[in-house]
Amino acid sequence: MIEIEGYGSGRTFRQSSRHRRCFPAGALFRAALAALVLPLMVAILASNIAGAVAPELATDWVEGDHNRARLTAGAVESAAPGSIYAFFEITMDKGWKTYWRNPGSAGGIPPEFDWSKSRNVASVEVLYPVPKVISDNAGDVIGYMEHAVFPVRITPERPGEPVQLDVSANYGICKKLCVPVAVDLALTLPPGDLPPASPDGQAALDAVPRSADRVKPGDPSGFKAESVIEGPDARVILKARFPGAADAAEVFLYIEDGRFIPMPVRQEAQGEVVSFIIDLSDPKDLMRVKGARVLATLKGELGQSESTFVID
């Protein structure tokens, strides 16, 4: 039986028994409060630990002249079942740039990736975020300024087992002088759930153009190409609808075997429909690309997409 003499600071709680123990009321209150609060704090801490961001899955940065590169991997919400994503990332010194797969009229070294030493890989596809045109005294470069991330879509050969990525990459960087870069990177992707992709990796994946059957609202759509290759004014006319500001519309062209193709020139818009002209009046240009299958990357103010056409 417990007898209570009083409440308040400096008073006592007295236990009626053969052995009496006296406790300051304030201390007993603090002990009771701790008994209530401590389990709650432990639960919150456990929840925070469980929800904490997992360590980044990445190689060390490999330092080079005016640039550094690394390979990362991470989970993305848009991944198709059976696919996982890695990201080849380049950062460059201020004022330096690297190239898209078509380096532009000024020339350059487009990136090349060799994944043949990788293990437990059925397929590897490097994806290219929409680039920008960078003009200088040498002409127009198509590429990325100071930072580039190339998403890599991977299908494992044996799902549920580790994937060993091993890449030999060659690319060029340029300011006033152009520098070729070669780097080897290796990264093991464990089976199961990966940590989330970095914000830069997710942003790069979001900037990859979507195919015509997967366009979202805001993406360029309704692409058409008309070849006029007879006579002195040989050309290809490209048209598409670009939601948003017409002056933001751009088209970048790529032929898989690396053949040069003149850059398309934007014409006056008709509402959201924008036309581009590929000038093939130079017989050498026409001969070079006649019959080629061309990939067109369309970049608008609100989105990006891609389509293919044949010059015939």
Position 79 scores a pLDDT of 84
Domain 57-208 - what CATH class? mainly beta
Written as one letter, the residue type at 289 is V
For the cut 60, the answer to whether the pLDDT of residue 26 exceeds it is: no
* pTM of the predicted model as reported, rounded to 2 decimal places: 0.81
pLDDT given for residue 231 in this prediction:
84
224-266 tens-digit pLDDT: 999 998 888 999 999 999 999 999 999 999 999 999 999 999 9
Pick the range with the lowest mean pLDDT from 13-27, 178-192, 255-269.
Answer: 13-27
Model confidence pLDDT, tens digit, residues 190-204: 999 999 999 999 999
> CA-CA distances (angstroms) from residue 238 to 34, 112, 139, 310?
73, 28, 23, 12
Fold match flag (57-208 vs 214-310)? yes
CATH of domain 214-310: 2.60.40.10
- In this prediction, residue 54 carries a pLDDT of 52
Domain ranges of the chain: 2-51, 57-208, 214-310
Please report which confidence band the pLDDT of residue 81 belongs to, taking 50, 70 and 90 as the band edges. confident
Candidates 158, 156, 150, 161; CA nearest to 197 is 150
- What does the alpha-carbon distance between residue 299 and residue 207 come to, in Å, rounded to a whole number? 10
Q: Reply yes or no on whether the pLDDT at 33 is more than 50.
A: no
pLDDT at residue 294 in the model? 98
Cα 301 to Cα 1, 128, 240, distances in angstroms:
79, 18, 13
| Predicted confidence (pLDDT) at residue 125 exceeds the cutoff of 60 | yes
Measured in whole angstroms, the distance separating CA 282 from the mean position of its chain's CA atoms is 38
Q: What percent of the chain has pLDDT over 70?
A: 82
Token duo for residue 107: 């020339």
pLDDT at 175 over 50: yes
